[in-house]
C-alpha cells in the first residue's frame, strides 16, 4: 500500500508505514523518510522555507512564498529594515541601539520582556518604566511602587509619580497640606474677630477688678491704722498725770 502526503510523489510500489498522527510530517519507506511539502532533511527536521515562508508548487516546481521583507530560495534574505531603527547590509538588518529582531522592529527590553509582535512593545519588570524598560520608576513624596508597576501615593499627593497635591490640598513649601475652605476660614476669622472685640472689655474688667481689690486693701489698712491710733489714745487717757502725785 502506497501513501502520498502533501502532494509529494512516493516511490511507486514501495510499502511504507505512517508513524505519526494528523500532525505527521514524514513517512518511512524502506528506512528512508519521505517528507511532506513543508519539511526536508534526512529526518524531515528542517523547514524548507525560513522565517515564516510557505512552500508551494508552481508549474511543477516547488518554491517558497516569502512574507513581506524577505526573499531568496528559502526566504533567508532580508529586503526591509524599520526606518531609523536599522540599516540593510548584505541581506541582513544591522540594528541601532535599543532595537533588535529580524527587521529591527522589536525593542531591546533591558528590564522586561518584548511583547506586541511587530509593534515592538516592552512589558517592564516591577520598578522600571519607559519604552525600553530602562528608566527606574521613582515615586515622589513617600510613594511606593505597587504590583501593577504604578505609584501608590501617600495621603495628600497624586499624579503618575505622586508629584502634585491631591484634591483638597495645597502646596506649602515642600509639602501638601489640607486646604482650608472659605466657610471654615470665615468661621475662624469670625471667632478671631469676636475674640479681638471682647479683648478690650476683658482688659477693662480685669483693671476694674484690680482697682476694687486695691481700694479694699487700702481701706482695710486705713481702718486698722485708725483703730490702732484710737486704742493708743484711750490708753494714754487712762494713765494718772504726774502733777497729781
- 149 and 111 fall within a common domain: no
Among 76, 105, 137, identify where a domain stops.
137
Residue 63 is predicted with a pLDDT of 86
Q: How many domains are contained in the chain? A: 3
Burial class (CB in 10 A: 0-12, 13-18, 19+), 38: middle
For the record, the C-alpha cell of 30 comes out as 524502506
Q: 124: Cβ–Cβ under 8 A, 6 or more apart, which residues? A: 109, 111, 112, 130, 133, 149
Among 15, 31, 47, identify where a domain stops.
47
Inter-residue contact 75 to 63 (CB < 8 Å): no
Q: What is the pLDDT of residues 73-105, one digit of tens each?
A: 889 999 999 999 999 999 999 999 899 989 998
Residue in 21, 31, 32 with CA at minimum distance from that of residue 8: 32
Q: What is the DSSP letter of 166?
A: P
Query: CA torsion angle for 76, 80, 85, 90 (degrees, to 10)?
Result: 50
Range of the domain at 21: 1-47
Residue 237 is predicted with a pLDDT of 59
Q: Does 106 map to a domain?
A: yes
Q: What CATH number corresponds to the domain at position 153?
A: 2.10.25
Rounded Cα distance between 222 and 211, Å, is 16
Inter-residue contact 161 to 151 (CB < 8 Å): yes
Q: Does 62 map to a domain?
A: no
Residue in 206, 228, 226 with CA at minimum distance from that of residue 218: 226
Q: Does 118 map to a domain?
A: yes
Q: What is the pLDDT of residues 52-74, one digit of tens each?
A: 888 887 787 878 999 999 999 88
Amino acid at each position: 500500500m502506497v501513501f502520498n502526503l502533501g502532494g509529494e510523489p512516493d516511490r511507486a510500489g514501495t510499502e511504507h508505514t505512517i508513524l505519526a498522527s494528523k500532525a505527521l510530517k514524514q513517512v518511512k519507506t524502506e528506512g528512508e523518510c519521505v517528507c511532506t511539502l513543508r519539511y526536508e532533511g534526512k529526518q524531515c527536521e528542517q523547514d524548507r522555507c525560513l522565517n515564516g515562508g510557505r512552500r508551494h508548487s508552481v508549474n511543477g516546481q516547488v518554491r517558497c512564498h516569502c512574507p513581506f521583507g524577505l526573499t531568496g530560495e528559502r526566504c533567508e534574505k532580508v529586503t526591509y529594515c524599520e526606518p531609523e531603527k536599522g540599516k540593510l547590509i548584505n541581506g541582513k538588518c544591522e540594528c541601532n541601539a535599543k532595537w533588535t529582531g529580524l527587521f529591527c522592529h522589536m525593542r531591546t527590553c533591558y528590564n522586561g520582556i518584548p511583547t506586541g509582535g511587530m509593534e515592538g512593545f516592552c512589558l517592564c519588570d516591577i520598578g522600571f518604566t519607559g519604552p525600553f524598560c530602562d528608566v527606574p520608576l521613582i515615586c515622589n513624596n513617600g510613594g511606593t511602587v505597587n504590583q501593577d508597576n504604578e505609584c501608590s501615593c501617600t495621603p495628600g499627593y497624586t499624579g503618575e509619580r505622586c508629584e502634585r497635591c491631591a484634591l483638597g490640598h495645597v502646596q506649602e513649601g515642600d509639602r501638601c497640606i489640607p486646604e482650608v475652605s472659605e466657610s471654615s476660614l470665615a468661621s475662624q476669622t469670625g471667632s478671631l474677630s469676636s475674640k479681638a472685640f471682647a479683648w478690650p472689655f476683658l482688659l477693662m474688667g480685669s483693671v476694674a477688678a484690680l482697682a476694687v481689690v486695691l481700694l479694699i486693701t487700702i481701706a482695710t489698712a486705713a481702718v486698722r491704722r485708725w483703730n490702732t491710733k484710737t486704742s493708743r489714745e484711750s490708753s494714754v487717757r487712762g494713765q494718772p498725770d504726774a502733777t497729781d502725785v
